[in-house]
């Protein structure tokens, strides 16, 4: 399979993709950002908690 054939086939397949609307993309982006912030605070909290616990026992 040549590179030109591959690129033409890829372009044809991309026309069949059901792309999300602008509103769906914005909504999904907001969900990802909110979940990422939540997880970072969650992990940060437990990291701080474990650090405090270890400092009491180790130091």
pLDDT of the chain along its 59 residues, tens only?
799 999 999 999 999 999 999 999 999 999 999 999 999 999 999 999 999 999 998 86
Q: Which residues contact 23 (CB under 8 A, 6 or more apart)?
A: none
User: What pLDDT does 58 receive?
Assistant: 84
50, containing H or E segment: helix 22-58
The CB-side HSE value for 18 (13 A sphere, CA atoms) comes to 1
What pLDDT, on the 0 to 100 scale, is given for residue 35?
Answer: 99
C-beta of residue 50 within 8 angstroms of C-beta of residue 58: no
Ordered by start, the domain boundaries in the chain are 3-58
Residue 40 to residue 24: CA distance in whole angstroms: 24
């Amino acid at each position: 399979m040549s590179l030109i054939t591959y690129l033409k086939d890829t372009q044809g397949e991309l026309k069949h993709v059901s792309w999300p609307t602008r509103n769906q993309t914005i909504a999904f982006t907001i969900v990802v950002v909110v979940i990422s912030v939540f997880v970072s605070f969650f992990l940060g909290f437990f990291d701080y908690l474990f650090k405090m616990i270890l400092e009491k026992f180790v130091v």
